[in-house]
Amino acid sequence: MSAPTPGGTIEIAGKTVSRLGFGTMRLTGPGTWGDPVDRDLALTVLRRAVHDFGITHIDTADAYGPHTVEHLIKDALHPYPEHLLIATKVGLARPAPSVWVPHGHPVYLRACVEASLRRLNVDRLDLCYLHRVDPEVPLADQLGTLVELHDEGKIEHIGLSKITPEDFLRARKQVRIAAVQNVLNINNRYDPVMELCRDETIPFVPYRPLDAGSAAPGGNVTTPLSWLLARGPHIAPIPGTSDPEHLTALVQAADGDIGA
């Protein structure tokens, strides 16, 4: 008997996946830097998310660690189930713990994609996001690099992260946007990009859905996740945790009443 699908289903990047995804940023050391304190526990959380709870949308980035989490995903889940969507992101350099620097030079983006392919041990990235728009590089050049990699068969679908409506409209003229990641939670309730995605039937993937815990006082994750899922069928939040019990609570919350 297969595991249930938390939060129902949504189509992202050509795959029908659970609306509740799993964000992997917390599976690192402090400052999103280096290895987790307990590597075996991190592997267990990943396996439980997929194999026990039926989460089929795993979100990561080369910047997490950097590189740490992509290795963990491969070690925990490879060979990957065919129905599993692994999304990664490129375009943020990590010079130090808790430091994130947009880096959208085409040579750098290409190198990041090639390295992610090796770390995840895949021939093609299911979904690759531009992690941040680098203001020092024309957006058309950043997207153009991802389009070239798509045409070369190294990226299946292209997404965008932390973008403005203006970014969305400019990008829409150049690429087919498979998904958008922006902040949305009960503390940050409005993002016009969410409405643009709704109008064009593009999945909107809220990161920080619990606002680093402040949207879930007392550990109550049901209210913030229910609120998000009720915003529309194009919403697919990606909460993260390194704690198996917290993972269980997230799945139970997503399977609750989302009609309110």
Enzyme catalytic residues: 64
Task: Name residue 158's beta-bridge partners.
Answer: 128, 177
Q: Which of 153, 110, 13, 130 is nearest to 61 (CA)?
A: 130
Contacts of residue 6, defined as CB under 8 A and 6 or more positions apart, other chains included, come to 18, 19, 20, 53, 54, 55, 250, 251, 254, 255
Q: Contact at 8 Å (CB) between 100 and 94?
A: yes
Contacts of residue 28, defined as CB under 8 A and 6 or more positions apart, other chains included, come to 34, 35, 36, 64, 65, 68, 69
Q: Contact at 8 Å (CB) between 84 and 134?
A: no
Q: Which of 129, 114, 150, 257 is nearest to 203 (CA)?
A: 129
